[in-house]
Structure 1
């Protein structure tokens, strides 16, 4: 598992509460969200990374979900083309910030659309989900970029999840956290699996950060399984993030 040295996060704006969502969990509390976001940043610092913290952008309600704007490897950055029209402008700021860290850039071009939340890296393999936000053309472009750089890339059309990473996470050492449609998916047959049950599905979106795995709070079964697999966990309250279809991975770019 590569060691993460940097993360990029972005304060949610007050407009967040009227952002896009498919959930029926109610309107988020902005005050509570800020407390949760601060705790998230503190957890990342505990994992030993340097944090680049961007200010809120009221014109982009969903822009705290920085993961969707880029796909990052150790050598190069791919600037995406988010599938929701209201989010397209978010890539400008992220592209500018990443110039401090990368010299080599690729871009997903329209009509291809791609959200970073649909991309999972497991060592030398990338999995690219086709979702409501990432279309076949966007997936094809990314696959071509990655294969040209010596990675393997597999395209996976989603059946039930919002984003690929909604239901899967890679922990390193051939260990994969899987839920729902990915439990028996042939693409993941070669991994050692930590299986998350239906009622705990939200917790499949967890993040391995150096010596820790960060998980959402309130999923005792998931915590137990990860601890038994030898991982030290950090639990974070994600209630206000979940209301806008967000998970732990969505809130940062990790590299």
Structure 2
């Protein structure tokens, strides 16, 4: 169960965030309203939400998930693969927030790069995607730190998606949303797979928070499939974040 969540308000510079989506520039005012709704949905799940102020120096800084991996024993501060994001992890308010919640703080060091959007937690095991943003050295450092605290990790080579959780979401109870290259992957053969079709692949990025699943708005087939397993579902519109390669999980640290 999660007790706390950290989010960061989107900055005006988000309209110039990193993107491969080719969906146009985000509407900043709409993005703010969507962020408000996201925070309210999280609160409905019974967590305390810490809201960090927008940081105009970093267009992508609302995607706080990438800068740290929060576990039950420690927080591991990452070293983002995107150069424009590398100093996000050193921002004073983020460091202060993490230190307020975690006694044990670890850091990924050069030449390792890793973004936590490439990491999926399943109990005490962490699947780590090898991507353009996460290299082998970063993954190996992460696994070594996890093992130091009695946790474990393994790597998943990526072929098509930006981040591991672009096409995967673990929603507990051995249920796994899968899309694209992960549908037939033998790595995930022991999970009960809820297959997301290609047209709805964006909705493979959902988040489980205390037996409630947050689902991007506009994907009724995905919503119905998740509800069929007895989960309460809350839809959250993330259209403006999709334009800069972001989804539901990217917008928060949950622990």
- Shorter-chain TM-score bucket reads over 0.9
Gaps of 5+ in 2: none
Runs of 4+ with >3 A deviation: none
Encode CA deviations 1:75-129: one digit per residue, 9 max, x unaligned: 1000000011111111013233100001101110011000010000001211000
**Corresponding residue for residue 81 of structure 2:** 83
For the Cα contact (< 8 Å) 2:82–2:133, is it kept in 1? yes
**Corresponding residue for residue 92 of structure 1:** 90
Gaps of 5+ in 1: none
2: CA distance, partners of 1:149 / 1:132: 27
**Corresponding residue for residue 217 of structure 2:** 217
Question: Is the partner of 1:100 in helix, strand or coil?
Answer: helix
State the Cα distance separating 1:172 from its structure 2 match: 0.9
State the Cα distance separating 1:250 from its structure 2 match: 0.1
State the Cα distance separating 1:146 from its structure 2 match: 1.2
For the Cα contact (< 8 Å) 1:79–1:95, is it kept in 2? no
Query: Aligned runs of 1:104-253 on 2, under 5 Å?
Result: 104-253=104-253
Please give the root-mean-square deviation of Cα atoms over the aligned residues, in Å. Answer: 0.8
State TM-score, norm by structure 1.
0.97
For the Cα contact (< 8 Å) 2:158–2:164, is it kept in 1? yes
1: CA distance, partners of 2:96 / 2:84: 19
1: CA distance, partners of 2:46 / 2:229: 22
2: CA distance, partners of 1:52 / 1:110: 29
State TM-score, norm by structure 2.
0.97
Question: Is the partner of 1:15 in helix, strand or coil?
Answer: helix
2: CA distance, partners of 1:137 / 1:211: 34
State the Cα distance separating 1:233 from its structure 2 match: 0.5
2: CA distance, partners of 1:211 / 1:126: 20
1: CA distance, partners of 2:107 / 2:187: 26
State the Cα distance separating 1:246 from its structure 2 match: 0.0
**Corresponding residue for residue 60 of structure 1:** 58
2: CA distance, partners of 1:187 / 1:154: 10
For the Cα contact (< 8 Å) 2:73–2:149, is it kept in 1? no
State the Cα distance separating 1:134 from its structure 2 match: 0.6
Encode CA deviations 1:198-228: one digit per residue, 9 max, x unaligned: 1110000000011310000110110110011
